[in-house]
Chains A and B, each alone.
Chain A
Amino acid sequence: MIGKEVKKELRAIVGDGRYLDNKEDLMLYSYDAFMVQAQPEVVLLPITTEEVSKIMKVASRERIPVTARGAGTNLTGGSVPTQGGIVLCFTKMNKILDIDKENRVAVLQPGVVNMEFQKELTKYGLYYPPDPGSMAVTTMGGNVAENAGGPRAVKYGVTKDYLLGLEVVLASGQILHTGGKTIKNVTGYNLTQLFCGSEGTLGLITEITLKLLPLPESRRTLQAAYKNLSDAGQTVVKVLERGILPVALELLDKVFINIIEDYTHIGLPREAEALLLIEVDGPEAGVIDQAERLTKLCREMGAHEIKVAKTAEENEEIWRARRSAYGAEARLRPTAIAEDCTVPVTKLVDMFQEVAKIARKYNLLIPIVAHAGDGNLHPQILTDIRNKEEMERVVKAIDEISIKAVELGGTLTGEHGIGIAKREILPYEIGEVAMEITRTLKKAFDPFNILNPDKVVRIV
């Protein structure tokens, strides 16, 4: 419980409009896109590093748990304040501080929204590739804290590949600067990357320095429809084998094709068993060449219908439709649990089969979307949290899917993180040595265990 006096102190740091503690607002910060909910005692919306630092000084003195929050779109319970305390929400700390065209570097506050940032960059002819499906809302702070990726990871990698430096407020309230503005930097330990994917458990990110690319001249998306899911999976392997490097290579199964079509009406092939979305980019001539080679290859591999986007708008429309996948599933069942297992690309088809087997075994509806080009599957377990009996089966299915992925040489989570959703199963993949190091690191950064306690590892 946060006492009255301490509340007053916190309120004084941010001022009335950015301090919330009435019942309704607390409820509104009790959730993210995962299914667990818990209420904080106060919500603070800081706008400067100094405010964050002052808040942390109070919190560490009083041992108050602090859960950082961006847009609250993570899928693993990362921004749910399971131990109450403070939710520190960064949405109002949203200035782009610098876009340095000459050095191709940008400096941002954590509340900047991914898509807004991307839009701003196009004005300078610059490009920041990571494009999580939630890019229209997610904050860059949340992206760094989750090391978010997106469809374009196949060619361009994920958040960590663009991260040059950070400003971080530590549990004690001290302000740490890591990295810098240069691509090369081996001065000291690579602390920057340590915070990337740390899910708010090691420190609070208050400023981000990113590397940028020049905007590609042209891009084109191809849709290839298959009557057979494994043909689509095999195509993915063949594309990579033939030395084509697409920007993105996504797969949708029949259920997804249909729910997305229900929402968007953009003419997806409803009868197909699988649809591949393949995007290529680069100079116009190269793009046309790659699109032709891909069309030929998909045909060889059994695609019965292939469509190439004709305009930039059409291109964007397809990707917007793809990004609606997670939301659109609620058309079928009210609760969706987004699995995130990742396997080597050559094991994709095996993993599809395993998921289908598990779905049958537990009598569950588990359609699949996949960032197939990097082996990252999202089997979506569609259920209803109000149905206790079914939820028991769901929990078992989730564990089995994760274990299968690891057995196939893959990993539990490709991009959604651990949060609370995957915490118990984490040791299974990383082992006791890594667990011990993880706990040691956590204690070094957060001796009182106040930064997003309960997430990633439990400290007792």
Chain B
Amino acid sequence: MDLQETKDLVYRCNKCGLCISACPVYQQLLMEAASPRGKVQLVKSYLEGGMELSPRFKEILLTCLLCENCVVNCPSGVQHDHVFTDLRTELVKTYGLNWKKRLIYKLLTNEKLLHSTSVLARLGRNWLLETFAKGMRLGNIPVERLPRVNPKPFRDRFNGLVLPEGEVRGRVYYFTGCFTNYFAEEVGQAVVNVLKRLHLEIEIPSGQDCCGVAAILSGEEEIPMKSVEKNISTLAREDLDAVLVDCATCGAAFKKEYIALLRRKGMDTSKAEILKGKTLDVLEYVAERIDLLPFRKDRNRPKIRVTYHDPCHLVRAQGVSQAPRKILKALPGVEFVEMKDANVCCGGGGSFQFDFPDVSKGITANKIKNIRETGASIVVTGCPGCRVTISGNMDESDQITVLHPIQLVDRLLSEETPEKSPQ
């Protein structure tokens, strides 16, 4: 692999240290090895021939949430995300992927297999997740608090196309991602409901592929290729108004990671650029059209206090922070309060919480403390990973519901009978 670009990037680091305080992992460990500056310097040393890809090197590189907080806090423009993914790719070449991860990524990127295991799981709890949870120690989340598998894959509810009532104002493709399809049908249904209210035709074929990003970010170059190519060829279509995603990570894949992966492999990116241009997070799309949604203005119930968590893959990877806030502020009956450090990572970081549960735990504890301090009864966030991490680490006594923002929009839209104000 040509690491020239990475080389140029690491030489931009003048060791000023300004990225260090922004790193949630450093805040837990307080050691140079945990810091973005340290990782960049280590990579530099490797590229100069002063370091091997030793097990400790690997551990240091992987003790990272890929949350990109360092990227936005680096004045000299060292793109850590680029550097780290490049090096993860080198590490996978040397070490291969851990078999458990390999299996999961293979499964995730094999739609047929995933579909059939999921249908089998209808019989009981999700054997798949449970097995892995036991085997891998799923971070700090007790098994019974893991999401339950959908009774049937969400997309199987439809025959590929959903039509709105009455007038048709546009046509979008709803890329549900694996999580909504297999675990969070309620999110999928809320998205469909809201898009129907916007009078859209919604393409939602049953046979969509995984976005493949988990494998891509782990540095694996081959396993995800089939999904990447298939998604690009089916989704890079000019006739669609937009490709909508409800998952921050799928969005980051389409807008950013596909192009980076293809570039790393020296492949053509022109179709991936088209997909990037079409992709919108459902929150961006709805925020632009929030005035068109028929909320009841005469709502008399007490306001619900809601706070918002910025997923790393939305706020930094895609630069989306205002859209969800615009929606929340526009919702009648919602009192929106910002939490402290809303845009700091929740500590999940994909497989990070499984690999480094102790570090993850401290970061998540901060997030939950900040959520509690707002006094909100609902926290919304547009990333399934964040929702699992946050809800899985809450206490029973918390009484805080974790939702996708669109679920809240849908609930408020379907409040048919306004309650009489108490006289």
* Interface residue ranges, A against B (CB under 8 Å): 20, 22-25, 27-29, 31-33, 45, 71-73, 89, 91-92, 94, 111, 113, 115, 134, 136-138, 260, 263, 323-331, 334-336
Contacts and interface: CB of A to CB of B under 8 A. Distances in A.
Interface string B77-94: 110000000000000000
Contacts of A329: 14, 76
A134 B77 contact: no
A329 to B, nearest CB: 7
B54 A73 contact: no
B56 A334 contact: no
Contacts of A73: 16-17
Nearest to B10: A334
Interface in B117-173: none
A355 B51 CA distance: 40
A327 B78 CA distance: 10
A27 B75 contact: no
B21 A23 contact: no
Interface stretch (B31-39, B101-109, B389-397): B31-39
Contact of A28 (B42, B77, B78): B42
Given A24-B33, A91-B30, A329-B76, A134 B54 contact: no
Interface residues of B, number: 30
A327 B22 CA distance: 14
B32 A33 contact: no
Contacts of B75: 260, 263, 324-328, 330-331
A115 B22 CA distance: 12
Nearest to B11: A334
B213 to A, nearest CB: 28
B266 to A, nearest CB: 26
Q: Kindly list the 3 A-B residue pairs having the minimum CB-CB distance in the complex, ordered from nearest.
A: A327-B75, A330-B76, A324-B75
B18 A134 contact: yes
Contact of B21 (A31, A113, A326, A334): A113
B32 to A, nearest CB: 4
Contacts of A136: 18, 20-22
Contact of A24 (B11, B12, B54, B76): B54
A32 B14 CA distance: 9
A29 to B, nearest CB: 6
Given A113-B21, A263-B77, A334-B14, 17 more contacts: A24-B33, A25-B33, A28-B33, A28-B42, A31-B15, A31-B41, A33-B16, A72-B15, A89-B31, A89-B32, A134-B17, A137-B21, A263-B75, A324-B75, A325-B75, A334-B11, A335-B14
B45 interface: yes
A280 B21 CA distance: 27
A92 B11 contact: no
Contacts of A326: 14, 16, 75
A12 B184 CA distance: 50
Interface string B56-82: 110010000000000000111110000
Residue of B14, B17, B41 ringed by the most chain A CB atoms within 10 A: B14
Interface of B: 11-18, 20-22, 30-33, 38, 41-42, 45, 50-51, 54, 56-57, 60, 74-78
Contacts of A28: 31-33, 38, 41-42
Nearest to B57: A24
A33 B21 contact: no
B186 to A, nearest CB: 37
B31 A45 contact: yes
Given A22-B56, A330-B13, A27 B18 contact: no
A27 B14 contact: no
A415 B78 CA distance: 27
Given A71-B20, A323-B18, A330 B12 contact: yes
B56 A24 contact: yes
Nearest to B59: A24
A22 B12 CA distance: 26
Contact of A27 (B13, B22, B51, B76): B51
A192 B365 CA distance: 39
Nearest to B50: A27
B15 A32 contact: yes
A323 B19 CA distance: 12
Nearest to A334: B11
Contacts of A92: 30-31
B76 A331 contact: yes
B33 to A, nearest CB: 6
Nearest to A323: B18
A414 to B, nearest CB: 18
A160 to B, nearest CB: 23
Contacts of B16: 33, 73, 134, 326-327, 330
A138 B20 CA distance: 10
A28 B38 CA distance: 6
